Amino acid sequence: MTAYRKEHDLLGERDVPAHALHGIHTERAIENFPLARRAVNPALVRAYGAVKLACARTNRELGCWDDRTAAAIEAACEEMIEGRLDAHVVVDALQGGAGTSTNMNVNEVLANRALQLLGRPLGDYAAVSPTEDLNRHQSTNDTYPTALKVAAVGRLRDLEREVVALLEEFQRKEKQMAHVVKVGRTQLQDAVLLTLGREMGAYAEAFARDRWRIYKCEERLRTVNLGGTAIGTGLAAPRQYIFRVVDHLREITGYGLGRAENLVEATQNADVFVEVSGILKACASNLLKVSSDLRLLASGPDAGLGEIRLPPRQAGSSIMPGKVNPVIPEAVSQAAMAVMAHDHALTMACSLGNLELNAFLPLVADALLTSLDLLTAACGILRRLCVAGIEADEDRCRRTVHGATASATALVAAVGYEAAQRIAAEARRSGQTVRDAAMAAGLLTAEQFDSLVAGESVMRLGSPTGHKETP
């Protein structure tokens, strides 16, 4: 049988499981918000631990507690930073109250953990209180957005590392496949020749832009409103606290955090999260495009393009023997689409703040951190389980180049436009390859043709000067 302890708040008394680190406010939140059916993102919980530690150290300097109590509170905060208290922050990711339930869940857990460290019973809030001590000189309205920014900075750095690793893997493929000539396509129709290496290098360049955007947008998150309390006026917080608390948070996190010059504005507005989410959406769009391309390039293997082979990861069909599907690009595509959807939800939430506060920051936090988690994981599995194992089907590419009338464009510099056009038309009429048609017309030898469609030739910037005029 579960044992309980009695706790009370503004609305009255309530039973709380005797061994729970959370308290009455968390119990009410559990009852009120069965929405997402998942807890607050662990990155936010750990970042909240850092915020509470900064607040605790500042309050300790101001003489708010005796050394023993302060040490217990700070030790509890450090445990939360380390992830040791994740399981005790149990409120739903989506909640009313602008994040108050998350803040109070954190306060209750830290207070009760400090009580444990002091050897006192859980719920003995006369000794350490969730509100009087853990929330001293604070509001949800300055701690929650600050914790979200701290969490986002950390996850952005994780994402940046994965994006860099992915682009470097594509760069390795660029070097490996530099000699493999293939037919380039526009609007899914044959265009001109290029190399698989250059195609892979283009993907690397796209992710290089993502890396730069991710790196730069971090600075948008490093300005915080901690110390502004309820609406940015710093009500109920001493000036010394307001001027010191962000310094402590900067030391704890190692991030270049600074206090917003206009704390009222920083409390009112959440547009910085829209900006960051837009950067994530751009990365998602590249992931979706590249994943779609890889599926096309590997299509077949017999009746599709089949220019590359993706590493087989899973038997593909319950009815079609031997089928292997491009499951990694498909999974990554779904992650990318989810990020785009989260961006829309986040944008709506940030737009609907009223006057001095945005009440919808829980949705903003859930959408932003989930997007960061998805993109980080997606870049990782695309690199490890797909791109690293891509192989070129050189024979397939060679046959396609020799047979495709698109290769006729590579001949223009040597034989002229009209002659190249006649070669392409004859190849279509006779069923010959373009290579054979050019040789049959006596316009090019096999060696000359192969030289014109070689990787270094088709990837030369521009056409050679002095090409043969139309006969």
What's the CA gap between 439 and 416, in Å, rounded? 15
What's the CA gap between 273 and 41, in Å, rounded? 16
Residue 357 has pLDDT above 50, yes or no: yes
What band does 463 get if pLDDT is binned at 50, 70 and 90?
A: low
Q: Which residue's structure tokens are 């069923």?
A: 431
- CA-to-CA separations, 257 to 56, 59, 82, 149, 252, in angstroms, rounded: 18, 19, 20, 10, 10
10 exposure class (CB count in 10 Å sphere: 0-12, 13-18, 19+):
exposed
Q: How many CB atoms neighbour CB 382 within 10 A?
A: 25
Mean pLDDT of 91-104: 97
Torsion of CA 354, 357, 359, 364, to 10 degrees: 110
Residue 111 bridge partners (DSSP): none
Q: In terms of pLDDT, which residue wins out, 457 or 40?
A: 40
- Which helix (DSSP H) or strand (DSSP E) does residue 211 occupy? helix 196-221
Taking every pair of Cα atoms in the chain, the longest distance, rounded to a whole number of angstroms, is 100
What's the CA gap between 329 and 337, in Å, rounded? 12
What's the CA gap between 82 and 179, in Å, rounded? 49
Residue 162 has pLDDT above 60, yes or no: yes
Residue 457 has pLDDT above 70, yes or no: yes
Residues in the chain, overall count: 471
Closest alpha carbon to 144 in 274, 27, 11, 55: 55
pLDDT at 136: 97
pLDDT tens-place string over residues 358-415: 999 999 999 999 999 999 999 999 999 999 999 999 999 999 988 887 788 888 888 9
Residue 52 has pLDDT above 80, yes or no: yes
The CATH class given to the 4-136 domain equals mainly alpha
Mean pLDDT of 439-458: 87
Asked whether 469 and 416 are in contact (CB, 8 A), the reply is yes
What's the CA gap between 414 and 417, in Å, rounded? 9
Domain ranges of the chain: 4-136, 142-176+197-226+265-392, 404-458
Mean pLDDT of 199-214: 97
pLDDT at 2: 84
pLDDT at 470: 43
Q: What average pLDDT does the structure give for the chain? A: 94
Q: Which residues lie below 8 Å from residue 156, measured CB to CB, with a gap of 6+? A: 214, 217, 218, 221, 276, 372
pLDDT at 469: 45
What band does 244 get if pLDDT is binned at 50, 70 and 90?
A: very high
Residue 255 has pLDDT above 60, yes or no: yes
Residue 462 has pLDDT above 80, yes or no: no
pTM of the model: 0.93
pLDDT at 431: 87
Mean pLDDT of 259-287: 97
Asked whether 11 and 28 are in contact (CB, 8 A), the reply is yes
Q: Which residues lie below 8 Å from residue 55, measured CB to CB, with a gap of 6+? A: 136, 137, 138, 143, 226, 245, 248
Q: How many CB atoms neighbour CB 385 within 10 A?
A: 17
Mean pLDDT of 230-243: 96
Residue 285 has pLDDT above 90, yes or no: yes
Q: Is 4 helix (H, G, I), strand (E, B) or coil?
A: strand
Mean pLDDT of 339-367: 97
Q: Which CATH number fits the domain 404-458, given the four candidates 1.10.40.30, 1.20.58.220, 2.120.10.10, 1.10.1060.10? A: 1.10.40.30
- Which helix (DSSP H) or strand (DSSP E) does residue 259 occupy? strand 258-259
Count CA atoms within 13 Å of residue 296 on its CB side: 11
pLDDT tens-place string over residues 64-92: 999 999 999 999 999 999 999 999 999 99
Residue 5 bridge partners (DSSP): 16
pLDDT tens-place string over residues 129-158: 999 999 999 999 999 999 999 999 999 999
pLDDT tens-place string over residues 183-205: 999 999 988 899 999 999 999 99
Q: In terms of pLDDT, which residue wins out, 454 or 463?
A: 454
What band does 232 get if pLDDT is binned at 50, 70 and 90?
A: very high
What's the CA gap between 441 and 418, in Å, rounded? 13
- Which helix (DSSP H) or strand (DSSP E) does residue 223 occupy? strand 223-224
pLDDT at 452: 87
String of DSSP letters for 312-376: P-SB--SSSTT-B--HHHHHHHHHHHHHHHHHHHHHHHHHT-BTTB-TTHHHHHHHHHHHHHHHH
What is the 3-state composition of the chain as percent helix, strand, coil, each rounded to the nearest 5? 60, 10, 30
Mean pLDDT of 229-240: 96
pLDDT at 183: 93
CATH 3.40.109.10 fits 142-176+197-226+265-392, yes or no: no
Mean pLDDT of 314-328: 84
What band does 464 get if pLDDT is binned at 50, 70 and 90?
A: low
What's the CA gap between 275 and 310, in Å, rounded? 35
Tell me the catalytic residues.
Answer: 317
Percent of the chain residues past pLDDT 90, beyond the cut? 82
What's the CA gap between 394 and 306, in Å, rounded? 10
Percent of the chain residues past pLDDT 70, beyond the cut? 98
Residue 467 has pLDDT above 60, yes or no: no
